[in-house]
Amino acid sequence: MAFGSRDPARPQSPCQISGLPNGAWLIALVAVWVLFGLIGHDPWKPDEAHYFGVVLDFLQRGDWTIPTLAGEPFVEKPPLFYLVAAAFATLGGGVLPLHDAARLATGWFVGIALLFLGLTGRELYGRGYGPAAVLLMIGCVGTLARLHQLITDVALFAGMSVGTYGLALARRSTFGGGVALGIGAACAFLSKGLLGPGWLGLTALILPFFRIWRTRTYAGALGAAALVAIIPATIWMVALYMRSPDLFFEWFVNNNFGRFLGFARLGTRNAPGFYVYTLLWYAFPVLPLAGYAAWTAWRDRARSTALREMQLPALLAAVIVGVLALASDSRDLYLMPVMLPLSLLAAQGVCRIPLFGTRALSASARWILGGLALSLWLVWLSLVTGIPSALQTMMLAYQPGFVPDVRWLPVALAVVATVVAGATMIRRARMAGSALTQWATAATLCWVLATTLWTPYLDAGKSYRAMMQSLVHELPSNGCVASLRLGEPQRALLVYYARTTTARLEAKPDAACPALLVQGTHATGATPRSNGWTLVWEGARPGDAKELYRLYRRDVAADRAIVRFPN
């Protein structure tokens, strides 16, 4: 393939999106969406708990080369997210609880991702498409909760967004496109390994099959990107290998290729076609709008440039989904990066949506999401007032650890959000941009209500705090506790809440501790491997009908009363 001359012109799509919010309103809406939900609850199982455990270990040990969890090497992911979260925990730990301060790193990465998503939309299509892509992204159903969690995937999400912008910019700027693509690839690599750079690299290599990408500018940008990306990646890999070749092998082979190909047995497996049916709800309303954009662009390909403008996001979405479909493990969490190119495609769909589509989107925002917001208010009022009592009884039975109360500051924020959103949604939208704004506003309102009114209720069932506080009174004074079948989240939170690091019998079978903590289930029990242990405590999270924990002691008389934490 011959490389032609450089086209410095930034594209300007002839299709314009009318009714989008001005800059101040857009920034305020996005800021509310990003910031709400980052503080106010404990680390939740499964993902937040063990990732926070790694952050906690870094704060205690300061080892940037080898991530550890509860004192043991944990090289499942490279260290970028842990380092940034630890920095936020250090800066904000004096004002906020340590886990809340660490979770601010999530807002940092998500903010970067949304910024570069907007820049990519503008770079590909012209003015107006950046805000549209961002509004579509924050209105997605599947990513709403995930993009507010303390997980490494948000750093991968940011890296993919920066890298996608680099690919778009590389058509007209060797330096800018190359640096952005390289930084994005490095961020993706240092967040989650080879997967993110693999998506970006494969997309970058396929793009020159399209004529507009066969330029010297684009070729130079790829070379610059390789140089920028390889430096930080090499520094960490060399440092890890010099510290421990075995840990380097575990990370490079088992946690990259082994997880993908299935021979390491590390991931979650679902039925074939998992991503197909998951995307139907996960990517709503982006997926139908992206499909509509692709159909209209193909229909008008003879007289429109839309198909050419959509080459990058369409190819990137296909690459991400195709690679995920080949992987042996599957989770809805892994679909987060594909929302970036789908949002870019859907922005074209919003531009071309007919009048009945505008009305349908506006009506959905006002009646479906508005109805959900009203339901959140009404059920919460029943929960804290007891009217009707039958509904309150049902809700309390589902979350027995929750004690109804009113926290006035969150309630005041919920009222303000409801009034502002209501003013935005009170009239039916007549322009596509206004309908999209209503959808994003309604989705943000639902999220604000969930994170102000409902967080205490959700935290009562997802938090291990109460259970750990009950357990800590029965732990031996010398601090030596062995554990059996104790999961990574529980080990991490035991360090956080009880200042106790267990000696795992799976790794140290000869550990001679006077206490043994066993994790099991209510169905199978939680029993030690040998006799000679006396049960002194058992418990679980309130309302958890699956997990069961039992603490045994060697030096306690057999007739001592057993402490049971209510579940």
- What's the pLDDT tens digit per position in 294-350? 998 888 776 667 788 899 999 999 999 999 999 888 889 999 999 999 999 999 999
Residue with tokens 């209209």: 296
Q: What pLDDT shows up at residue 112?
A: 98
Q: What pLDDT shows up at residue 290?
A: 95
Residue with tokens 């919460």: 380
Helix spans in 170-273 (H): 174-192, 195-206, 216-243, 245-249, 259-261
Residues 515, 72, 102, 77: is their CA dihedral positive or negative?
negative
**pLDDT tens for residues 508-562?**
888 888 999 999 998 888 898 888 899 999 998 888 888 999 999 986 554 445 5
**pLDDT tens for residues 203-216?**
999 999 999 899 99
Segment among 46-50, 54-58, 422-426 with least mean pLDDT: 46-50
Query: In terms of Cα–Cα distance, which of 121, 219, 130 is closest to 170?
Result: 219
Long-range contacts of 69-75 (CB under 8 A, 24+ apart): 69/488, 69/491, 69/492, 70/488, 70/491, 70/492, 70/494, 70/495, 70/501, 70/502, 71/501, 72/504, 72/507, 73/244, 73/247, 74/50, 74/488, 75/240, 75/247, 75/250, 75/251, 75/255
**pLDDT tens for residues 283-303?**
999 999 999 999 988 887 766
State yes or no: pLDDT of 96 exceeds 50. Answer: yes
| 5 — pLDDT class (breaks 50, 70, 90) | very low
Domain locations along the chain: 23-352, 355-462, 465-564
Query: What pTM, to 2 d.p., does this model score?
Result: 0.93
Q: What pLDDT shows up at residue 329?
A: 83
d(CA 154, CA 359): 33
